Copies of this chain bind each other. A is one copy, B any other.
Amino acid sequence: MHSRKVASDIQERIKRLIIDGRLPSGAPLPTEAELMELLGVSRNSVREALKALQAMGIVEIRHGFGTYVGAMSMAPMIEGLTFRTVAGHYRGEDSLLQLLELREALETGLLTRLVGRVPDADLAALDALVERMAAEAERGPVRAETDRAFHAALYRGLDNQLLSEVLEAFWDAFHRVRTDLVDGTPDPQVTCEQHREILAAVRAGDTLRAEAAIRDHFGNIRTRLRSAARPAPD
C-alpha cells in the first residue's frame, strides 16, 4: 500500500539527488547501473524515469559517456509549446495568434520597465542589429536569426536569465510554427523600420512611444498572420 506509485517515485528520487546534492548543471549523475542499485529498481524503470527527466530538461544523457544534470533551460518547453500550437492550428484554432498575443503582452510589459535603463553596450549592439537587418532587407528576406537577436538583445539589460529564456522560447515556438504552416512573412523593410523605431523610443526614454512602437510591430505581424491564414493545408 505504501508504494502505490513505484514508477514516478523514481523520478522524484532522482530529482532529490540533484536538489539535495546541490548539483550544478553539468554535474555527473550516477550511471544507470548505479541508479538501479541505489533505488532498488530495474534498469528499465531507471531508464524510463531518466527519459522523462530528459524531456523536462532536468537531466542530459550522453550516449557512451554518462548522465548529467541538465541545463534546465526552457528548451523542452519550446518542444511542447510548438507541438501544442501546431496541433491546435491543424484543428482550426487560432493557436498561433494566441502565441503571438502572449509574446506581445510580455514584451509590452517588459518594455515599460526597460525604457531608459538599457546599458550603452546593449544599445550599440541593437544599433548594429538594426543595420544588419536593413542590409539584409535590401537583398530580400531577413534572416530569422537577426530578428531573434534583436528581441533577445533588447531585454538583456533586465539581467533576468529566466525572462530571456522564456522570451526566446516563445519567439522560437512562434517562428517554427509560422515558417512551417503559414507563409505570411511581413515586409522586411517595414519590420526593419519598426525595430528602428522601437530602439529610438527606448533610447529616448519615451515609455509611451516605445509601447506604441512595439504594439505597431506586433500589430504588423498579426495582420500578416490573419491575411495569410490557411488553417488546414492538405
Name the contact of A108 in the complex, choosing from B87, B101, B109 (C-beta under 8 A). B109
B-contact 0/1 string along A104-123, CB 8 Å cutoff: 11111110110000000000
Residue A2 is within 8 A (CB to CB) of chain B in the complex: no
B-contact 0/1 string along A6-22, CB 8 Å cutoff: 00000000010011001
> Which residues in B have their C-beta under 8 angstroms from that of A91?
22, 24
Closest to A106 in B: B106
Task: Indicate the member of A58, A87, A108, A158 with the most B CB atoms within 10 Å.
Answer: A87
User: How far apart are A54's CB and chain B's nearest CB, in angstroms?
Assistant: 7
Residue A182 is within 8 A (CB to CB) of chain B in the complex: no
Given known A19-B90, A56-B83, contact A98–B161 (CB-CB < 8 A):
yes
Contact A83 B87 (CB under 8 A): no
- Summarize A's interface: helix, strand, loop or mixed: helix
Closest to A96 in B: B162
Contact B58 A80 (CB under 8 A): yes
A residues 1-39 in Cβ contact with B at 8 Å? 15, 18-19, 22, 24
Contact B56 A102 (CB under 8 A): no
Given known A98-B163, A101-B160, contact A57–B86 (CB-CB < 8 A):
no
